Amino acid sequence: MHATAKTLRQAGIFHLTADPLPLDGRTLSFGGRSVINFGSCSYLGLETDPRLIEGAKRALSDYGTQFSTSRAYVSSAPYAELSEQLTLIAGTQALAIGSTTTLLHAAALPALIEPGDTVVFDEQVHHSVQSVLPTLAHLGARPEQLPHGRLDLVEEIAQRTPGRTVFLADGVYSMYGDALPVPELHDLLERNPRLWAYIDDAHGTGGLGRGARAGCLANARCTRARSSCWVWLRRLQARVPASCAPRRSLRIWCSRRAAR
């Protein structure tokens, strides 16, 4: 990390501050020099959409800058509306909404993983997923790293370990850009009743297509798996098959069976 920071600093592209000009979402200006911003993670570019800006202004005057109460107790009304609307877009039954994907992984995984579960993770699954592993280990799960793309090893581990094996993967991997072979995963899930999967589909979700899905969940066979997500949370008496970061993406967890 320090070496990367040093290289970036030497290249003059570290900890920069953009000129205080109105932002258009595409370009930035440094010392008056305009450049195209290829570092934006706003894949849908909605932050400059006038309709959203107007909506945000209305919400600010109606609700203030924050609603500082735990959602375990009470939610502000716009959360329910947002959840309903996103549920329609995602074509699913319920959503959990968070301000970032990282926070959602931190909240969802400890609720889904049980003591004694073997948690196998692809070495390329996003860092935000991997950062929850110490917590899962602390809760009594056994994390095991897999070389990238080795679904065959997932099956081997699921068959040799007692109890549940939970596979953590990305629908489309951030660094390599390759997609999870969803039909293959689905076959694995069908063959191995103690195997479960949790998929971060940030890069497989966009603004177009059925359910705004392009990647993992666009796949018909995965849709079957997706509907089983409810099973995950049965012990919490909740039906929350998908989590959603309203900023830009949906994270869906896929699990083994259709809802029972």
Ligand X SMILES: Cc1ncc(COP(=O)(O)O)c(C=O)c1O
Pick one of 7, 42, 85, 100: the residue that binds ligand X (CB under 6 A): 100
State the Cα–Cα distance between residues 225 and 218, nearest whole angstrom.
12
Nearest to 202 by CA among 239, 177, 232, 228: 177
Stretch binding ligand X (CB under 6 A), from 7-15, 30-38, 97-105, 231-239: 97-105
**Count of residues in contact with ligand X, rule CB under 6 A:** 12
The token pair that represents 124 in the structure block: 């390329």
CA 89 to each of CA 95, 103, 137, 207: distance values in angstroms, whole numbers, following the listed order: 11, 22, 35, 9
CB 95, CB 240: distance < 8 Å = yes
- Interface segment toward ligand X; rule CB under 6 A; list 16-24, 53-61, 96-104, 131-139: 96-104
Chain residue at closest Cβ approach to ligand X? 102
The minimum distance between CB 242 and ligand X, in angstroms, equals 14
Side-chain half-sphere exposure of 123, counting CA atoms within 13 A: 8
Pick out residues in 172-191 that bind ligand X (CB under 6 A): 174
**Residue 122 binds ligand X (CB under 6 A):** no
Contact call for residue 101 and ligand X (CB under 6 A) = yes
Stretch that binds ligand X, among 31-39, 57-65, 86-94, 95-103 (CB under 6 A): 95-103
- The site map against ligand X for 50-89 (x = CB under 6 A) is ----------------------------------------
CA trace torsion 204, 206, 210, 214 (10° rounding): -30
Kindly tell me the burial class for residue 225, based on how many C-beta atoms sit within 10 Å of its own C-beta (0-12, 13-18, 19 or more). Answer: buried
Closest approach of ligand X to the CB of residue 65, in Å: 20
Site string for ligand X, 123-152 (x = CB under 6 A): ---x-x------------------------
Q: Which is nearer to ligand X, 225 or 244 (CB)?
A: 244
Binding residue for ligand X, selected from 200, 225, 226, 241, defined by CB under 6 A: 200
Provide the binding-site residues for ligand X, judged by CB under 6 A.
41, 100-102, 126, 128, 170, 174, 200, 202-203, 245
